[in-house]
Amino acid sequence: MNERSVRRRAVLAAGAGAMGLAGCIGDDDPEPIDDGGEGSEDAPEGAAELRMQTATSTTAAYAANQGVAAAVNENTDEIFVEAQTSPGTEANIGALQSEEAEMVYIQNWSVVDVQEEVEPFDDLDFSLNQVFHYYDLPWFFCSGNEELSSIADIGSETTVSPTPRGSGTAAAVETALGYVTEEYERVSEDYGEQASAMNEGRLDVGMGTYMNYEIVPGWLQEMMGTVDLRLLEVPEEALQEWEEDERLQAQSFPGEELEDAAFAPEEVWGVEFAYNFVCRDDLDYDTVYTFLETMYDNREGLSEYHALLARLEDEEFWLENSYENVPFHPAAADFYEEIGIWNEELERGEG
């Protein structure tokens, strides 16, 4: 894969919206080879329970987590991982609060809300600890309207769906677009409906994503097959504004990587959101250590369970895009130190 351009701080401070990935990735995305993470098997006697929550059942996030669970459960009897569905990251934090899950994924926009004690995160009885980086989602603007080549071309009569209303990414994407214009007609189209909406002239500008800069979701493939999809440029002035906004992360990838697009600039710029697994600070040390050790020892086969897990074969990816001011669980810190990838920029939890 070609090298990506980056405009970020050393570690992330903010990112996607409170409801996270739920609904972002549809059921056209790859399914896991093995469904052993659904909890259908009986846990080995004496095994510690590790319930992991991601998103809804039709998402790649959940399917890949099933793969993680299967890989761990097939290779140790010390812990038993159960992949669980969830409406999104707000619910995931609630599951940690109610102790209905031991480990959940969230994203950096929600992390800031937790740190600032924004409702409903203003009365938590635990501290967040990081465990490992799951994946990245860059969101970029795209259009089937041949008159548009840049987000600077958006006008008062341009229909724009900066992800559906209520989605996790909406607030951040609207903020990013606001640095260029607030004069547009805000509409709301589900991801799988964007192709038909563009084809029927009901939508001028929608959003695309490129999971881990490797996987094109099925609904984006449909868009590129339905209309002459144009990936829109971002003015340099807007990129500078994004860089200065502590709650946005700007990143790009080579336009040639989406070869089915009708037009793509040399660099496709978008707003990136990082999804990491976190846990309560009081989660059992041995459970976390055994989980990481087992997954790490079997990392070269993770992509056989789901393509989204391929990046975890690279040990450096496990600490990529860590959240600022969120310590790592002591067991995770010790494990990463043992395999030689821990660095002093990261914070170790007290535990």
Nearest to 268 by CA among 218, 210, 227: 210
CATH top class, domain 6-135+274-338: alpha beta
Average pLDDT, the chain: 87
Confidence of residue 36 (pLDDT cuts 50, 70, 90): very low
List where CATH 3.40.190.10 sits in the chain.
Answer: 6-135+274-338, 137-272
Structural tokens at position 324: 């600022």
- pLDDT for 41 equals 55
pLDDT 10s digits, 65-96? 999 999 999 999 999 999 999 887 778 999 99
- pLDDT for 28 equals 37
Amino acid letter for position 273: F
- pLDDT for 13 equals 38
pTM given for the model:
0.77
Indicate whether 219 pLDDT > 80: yes
Rounded distance between C-alpha atoms, residue 243 and residue 247, angstroms: 9
Rounded distance between C-alpha atoms, residue 324 and residue 198, angstroms: 39
Indicate whether 61 pLDDT > 80: yes
Rounded distance between C-alpha atoms, residue 207 and residue 246, angstroms: 22
Indicate whether 32 pLDDT > 80: no
Structural tokens at position 329: 């669980």
pLDDT 10s digits, 232-269? 999 999 999 999 998 898 999 999 999 999 999 999 99
CATH top class, domain 137-272: alpha beta
Q: Percentage of the chain surpassing pLDDT 90?
A: 71
Amino acid letter for position 145: N
Structural tokens at position 89: 């990251």
- pLDDT for 326 equals 96
Q: How far is the CA of 344 from the CAs of 51, 172, 193, in angstroms?
A: 30, 30, 45
pLDDT 10s digits, 266-318? 999 999 999 999 999 999 999 999 999 999 999 999 999 999 999 999 999 99
Collect all residues with Cβ–Cβ distance below 8 Å to 264 and sequence separation of at least 6: 230, 231, 255, 256, 258
Whether 346 contacts 319, CB under 8 Å: yes
Map residue 67 onto helix, strand or coil: helix
Indicate whether 169 pLDDT > 90: no
Confidence of residue 30 (pLDDT cuts 50, 70, 90): very low
- pLDDT for 217 equals 86
